[in-house]
Amino acid sequence: AQTVTQSQPEMSVQEAETVTLSCTYDTSENNYYLFWYKQPPSRQMILVIRQEAYKQQNATENRFSVNFQKAAKSFSLKISDSQLGDTAMYFCAFMARINFGNEKLTFGTGTRLTIIP
Amino acid sequence: DSGVTQTPKHLITATGQRVTLRCSPRSGDLSVYWYQQSLDQGLQFLIQYYNGEERAKGNILERFSAQQFPDLHSELNLSSLELGDSALYFCASSVLGRASGANVLTFGAGSRLTVL
């Protein structure tokens, strides 16, 4: 079974600064995907960024980028130029491409990020 | 609006009762997933359906059941409710069937269940 660990329950950073959220995972699979989801106070789950394990290049989406270290099973999220709207719970998630039609997300426990004005 | 519709948004009921949560997936999505999020916890996978058939099961209690109908909407039935069942229940959908690429789940806004 796969496990996802987020060791930072809470973080806070000043607006416009850069912050990095940590995530490690454990799997015996070689082909898988990693995701970061954001859950703002509205509780909606919003996809932030995703990474395919077979791609060595780190994914980037505007101010959001990841540092994917496959050997270390590490998948951190970097938020640059943080904005007040980035205040949310951030979940790291893992999906193994095991069988077609049998793919689910396994989530970490989340990191509550607060952006301070 | 994510395109995944969940009803009801809020539900308050008593212990021992039975409720049904409904989910309409995004247009074109064949797979539906149910997740439970207890207060300030991570999301726990309950069950997945693909085109009407159960495809994966997580730690879903025997008191809970689900199904996906021919029109692809899904229902999660929770019975003999206990206080600990109070949670936010998310439905997500995905296309699957793609030749390549990640299976991206799109989440609904959730149904908040309070058991008193």
pLDDT at position A66 is 97
pLDDT at position B35 is 97
Which secondary-structure segment (H or E) carries A36? Answer: strand A32-39
The dihedral region occupied by B95, where left means phi > 0, alpha psi between -120 and 50, and beta the remainder, is alpha
Of B48, B56, B90, the CB nearest to A45: B90
Which residues of chain B have a CB within 8 Å of the CB of A33?
102-103
Whether residues B107 and A45 touch (CB distance < 8 A) is answered with yes
CA–CA gap between residue A27 and residue A110 (Å, rounded): 19
Kindly indicate the confidence band of residue B107, based on its pLDDT and cuts at 50, 70 and 90.
very high
Of A42, A102, A109, the CB nearest to B55: A102
Whether residues A43 and B109 touch (CB distance < 8 A) is answered with yes
Residue-wise pLDDT for A63-87, tens only, equals 999 999 999 999 999 999 999 999 9
**C-alpha count within 13 angstroms, C-beta hemisphere, residue B30:** 15
Identify whether the C-beta of residue A10 lies closer than 8 Å to the C-beta of residue A112: yes
CA–CA gap between residue A61 and residue B48 (Å, rounded): 29
What torsion, rounded to 10 degrees, do the Cα atoms A85, B2, B94, A40 define?
Answer: 30
CA–CA gap between residue A2 and residue A16 (Å, rounded): 35
CA–CA gap between residue A94 and residue A106 (Å, rounded): 5
The letter for the amino acid at A67 is N
Residue-wise pLDDT for B22-40, tens only, equals 999 999 898 899 999 998 7
